[in-house]
Chains A and B, each alone.
Chain A
């Protein structure tokens, strides 16, 4: 008897108008596992993440967290579920009207009802975890570089010590060194928390660094899933093409030939 998966998607379908984005998608993430979903742009990775978070509603199928069907929950119930999660957005999505520490402490103050003074102490601790000094705490996000903003976003995602953390393209738009710094931070922070993580990415190097398991998404479906270590030896034609970045192969891009 296997354990209930932390996150499970069963036959999830989502389309916009006539365009089908997710086509009977099945996926599960075990407790404490780090799953990276890779795939080209437009394959439905972001839509999948938004469906899990409840920002989009799938047309059919079920999404379960801790074995509980949350597909159609909204309002207070959805807020309770989201208390268990943290999310790092692709462009960090920091609140530009608030200071850095207020951003990190946002969930603690608003959702967990913590006093501002206590929350500030924790926020500064979390900032230290991602390598940012307390002198940055009172700056606004616009004063920081992109790499710093991303680290603040990470600090915000882990501030309330969530059980599940989602990462949306954590290394996109960063230089290779900063990308590596973020990868290491993600690994260390999530391991310390024992959190389950679901990452979407198209950066193979980053995926291999942070993943226990990797799933390849193509046309709204998982075409391959396996251990991160198997990705170079599995011999799957989809994976081969994606890893090597070939134009020729089973993955067809919607590009009109001139």
Chain B
């Protein structure tokens, strides 16, 4: 009984390490094909539109309401010790450093990561990826590289726009509902904001974009079976993106804090 229990732990650990190894190899392979030509610029453009431009409404909406609720909540808390003047600063730092990149990353994981896993997974189970190979086209270059680069490049732009929309949301609530003076609020917003607050958020966004597209591609690429396999790949892509975003967020914060 005890032996079985230990064997189970061992098996789980081994399969976990095997998965980590497979993802590492997949990542190395993908990165190599991002750098080595040929490049598919037409596909890169299409992916940038899909991942970046068409995610604007989702990210904008998320940022707007996050900024609004943040202003409200922080006002409630800070008014207890007469620190209402901190609202603007906390909203802008909270958004740029943390909430805009993380929440955008999670939204993109749901929107883009799932779509990538489903598309590539379907291509796998219907032999379209094999067909690519027989047509002398490397599926890593054709399918994976454009998505990875698009995720890496477009997410910071999305988050930057999200920052602006979120701060505007906070501004709206503060001035219209909480009775702040507009010019004072704006002054407070920018007084203590540093460039590196924004930049660290954008670096996070870039990493999250990479994680989401990588997980989508990885799980799609390795899906097996039919419709059920594709469904599983999609779920795994989203869940693993969520977990990796939250974990890497902590370590990125530690790294970027000084």
Contacts and interface: CB of A to CB of B under 8 A. Distances in A.
Interface stretch (A26-34, A57-65, A81-89, A218-226): A81-89
Interface string B112-135: 000000010011001110111111
A54 B134 CA distance: 9
A145 interface: no
A93 B133 contact: no
A106 interface: yes
Report which residue of B123, B132, B135, B142 has the largest number of chain A beta carbons within 10 angstroms of its beta carbon. B135
Nearest to A82: B136
Contacts of B142: 110
Contacts of A91: 126-127
Contacts of A166: 134
Contacts of A50: 130
Interface residues on B, range: 10 to 19
Interface string A58-98: 00000000000000000000011011011101110111110
Contacts of B132: 95
B138 interface: yes
A89 B137 contact: no
A111 interface: yes
Contacts of B135: 82, 106-107, 110-111, 156
B136 A111 contact: yes
A53 interface: yes
Nearest to B128: A93
A123 to B, nearest CB: 13
Contacts of A54: 133
A106 B128 contact: no
Contacts of B122: 96
A111 B137 CA distance: 6
Interface residues of A, number: 25
Contacts of A106: 135, 137
A87 B131 contact: yes
B138 A79 contact: yes
B216 to A, nearest CB: 15
B137 A55 contact: no
Nearest to A54: B133
B128 A87 contact: no
A77 to B, nearest CB: 11
Report which residue of B119, B131, B138 has the largest number of chain A beta carbons within 10 angstroms of its beta carbon. B131
Nearest to B46: A97
Report which residue of A54, A85, A87 has the largest number of chain B beta carbons within 10 angstroms of its beta carbon. A87
Contacts of B130: 50, 53, 55, 89, 93
Nearest to A159: B135
B131 A55 contact: no
Interface in B136-175: 136-138, 142
Contact of B133 (A82, A96, A97): A82
A50 B136 CA distance: 14
B137 A110 contact: yes
A110 B133 contact: no
A53 B133 contact: yes
A53 B137 CA distance: 13
A185 B127 CA distance: 23
Nearest to B134: A87
29 contacts: A53-B133, A53-B134, A54-B133, A55-B130, A79-B136, A79-B137, A79-B138, A82-B133, A82-B134, A82-B135, A83-B136, A86-B134, A93-B126, A93-B127, A93-B128, A93-B130, A93-B131, A94-B128, A95-B132, A96-B122, A96-B126, A106-B135, A107-B135, A110-B135, A110-B136, A110-B142, A111-B135, A156-B135, A166-B134
